[in-house]
Chains A and B, each alone.
Chain A
């Protein structure tokens, strides 16, 4: 009989277990540790063809981005389409977009941990890794935007030769603190639950590799004291990191909202950006999971149930995003303030209207029906919805930035913006960079948390707490 751990009806995992009718599951038949180790450490211990293809393709795309960047450095930022008055465009759009994507991981993982969502176990590390790499890429763009990126250290809080410190009242400096705090916190939050798995890889390695993983695992032995302290630290970290994650995108939104510019100076920009970030982040997580599942043959671990549950989250965020967008645009339209109305019109029926309506279709019209109907909320369905959402959210970031800059309050000064090939290649290159970083990570570290997965399968030894998985009635994904 087919087994089922996290979802009741028709799924199987590892050839163990059995079908269960109860919504509260206890486990009697389970895959052995060796089977789980074999499956989840395979990507680290062996190099498959899928991984090599992924690295080569993403590496080439990344290389194209590097070449575009080198061209920009050698020629100056005149090779971009920036002009007066549009001083921010693709680079700042990419910055906001990637910082938004970074909300997939640490925030979602922390929320699922704090709420004790059992189905999170195979998902958390995939998500946390996204945060770290997306943040790295996002934080890179203000430096790229500097024009003279080698002077990036001027952003850091230290006095210059005249003893002047940076202006801490500037939202741009708030960014510096928020992004760095979130990056460091996310790296630690990724690293802590990774320690026992690093020890696992250490145990399976020889020579130099064993020494490196021995160092990385900090001499982890697996005593119950170590487990207790690790779980405590992860719990505390999860609680701390949630407000930090929320603050990061709020502060990114304040880069705009603090300026008295039409359609930027909005009090709801903070929550609007955070909602959009979580929205695009979940979509990115679904895409990453689908690729990992296929490339590393982790079908038994990243299962339809996980896509179903993330799809439901995505559906919720889609509605929240629509609500915020509608509220933002309705008040602008109703207020009928000329400078705001000009920007509104340029988006809804002017030169930016194809992108605006493309955004509405990608973020709402396509994903809503796919995610709302259980029959469509399959792996393929959620992946299609996610691709649309990622594209739609990039357009949304662009639409927030460029039309406002192109329409200053005095109309004689209006301008327009067209990207150049350098900006487009840089954008595409970041996707290659992200996939490359992610692929290298999956080669070096188990992408599914092995110990967390084992912990979640139960049953525990006599005298120990029995693990039970309480499932919502909706968590009944069908097989893929």
Chain B
């Protein structure tokens, strides 16, 4: 994005104040991001992303898919052979249930990871090295995707007034 403003704050508290002011000035929640080296809980969480996480739902869906795959693998392959072992039925729910359980968990685990990577918007454009270093040193970075040129000036004004080093 061309009109992106980056600002480094010494403390997360200052960055939070600037973020809130930017929002009050009409910047959309999705266009202002606060980056830090540790999670900040509380009010900040409400404004930064309007969407609810669907990781839990995906975990359940992944579990169901894993279970269905396990049922298919065990039941279909056993039926294709029709070989009795240990006096057990060809499709033995007690024994196959264990494999179904493990594959349910596996499906849930893999889909949790996949959905988390998607929702967290990983693999996006890298930050400039100085921002990366600043975050590592415990500073906070505010990233504003300002849209048009006028908004860039407004964002820079707020960030500078709040004590940021605007890049």
Q: Which A residues have a C-beta under 8 Å from some C-beta of B? A: 32-34, 37, 157, 159, 163-165, 167-170, 173-174, 177-178, 180-181, 184-185, 188, 192, 196, 199-200, 202-204, 214, 218-233, 236-237, 240-241, 243-244, 247, 251, 451, 454-455, 460-465
Which residue of chain B has its CB nearest to the CB of A210? B129
Interface of A is mostly: helix
B21 sits at the interface (CB 8 A): no
List residues of chain B with CB within 8 A of the CB of A157. Answer: 73, 77
B43 sits at the interface (CB 8 A): yes
CB of A229 within 8 A of CB of B119, answer yes
List residues of chain A with CB within 8 A of the CB of B37. Answer: 33, 196, 200, 222, 451, 454
Q: Which B residues have a C-beta under 8 Å from some C-beta of A? A: 11-13, 16, 33-45, 48-49, 53, 55-56, 59, 73-74, 77-78, 80-81, 83, 85-86, 88, 92, 95-96, 98-99, 101-103, 105-106, 108-110, 112-113, 115-117, 119-127, 129, 132-133, 135-138, 141, 143
CB of A236 within 8 A of CB of B56, answer yes
| Contact among A199, A221, A463 for B44, CB-based, below 8 A | A463
Check A219/B122 contact, CB under 8 A, given A165-B80, A240-B112, A454-B38.
yes
List residues of chain B with CB within 8 A of the CB of A173. Answer: 99
CB of B80 within 8 A of CB of A219, answer no
Q: How far is the CA of A32 from the CA of B133 in the complex (A)?
A: 15
Which residue of chain B has its CB nearest to the CB of A191? B113
List residues of chain A with CB within 8 A of the CB of B132. Answer: 199, 202-203
Beyond A228-B49, A229-B116, 16 extra complex contacts between A and B, CB < 8 Å: A163-B81, A168-B95, A169-B96, A174-B95, A181-B109, A204-B136, A219-B124, A226-B121, A228-B39, A237-B112, A240-B112, A451-B38, A461-B12, A461-B40, A462-B16, A464-B42
Which residue of chain B has its CB nearest to the CB of A179? B102
Q: How far is the CA of A163 from the CA of B81 in the complex (A)?
A: 8
CB of B109 within 8 A of CB of A237, answer yes
| Contact among A185, A221, A237 for B35, CB-based, below 8 A | A221
CB of A236 within 8 A of CB of B44, answer no
Query: Nearest chain A CB to B157's CB is how many angstroms away?
Result: 22
Which of B42, B56, B136 has the most chain A CB atoms inside 10 A of its CB?
B136
CB of B39 within 8 A of CB of A185, answer no
CB of B122 within 8 A of CB of A464, answer no
Which of A203, A221, A226, A228 has the most chain B CB atoms inside 10 A of its CB?
A221
Q: How far is the CA of A451 from the CA of B38 in the complex (A)?
A: 5
* 22 A-B contact pairs sorted by A residue (CB < 8 Å): A165-B77, A168-B74, A168-B77, A173-B99, A188-B109, A196-B37, A199-B136, A203-B129, A219-B122, A223-B33, A223-B143, A224-B48, A231-B39, A233-B55, A236-B56, A240-B105, A240-B108, A243-B101, A244-B102, A461-B40, A465-B41, A465-B42
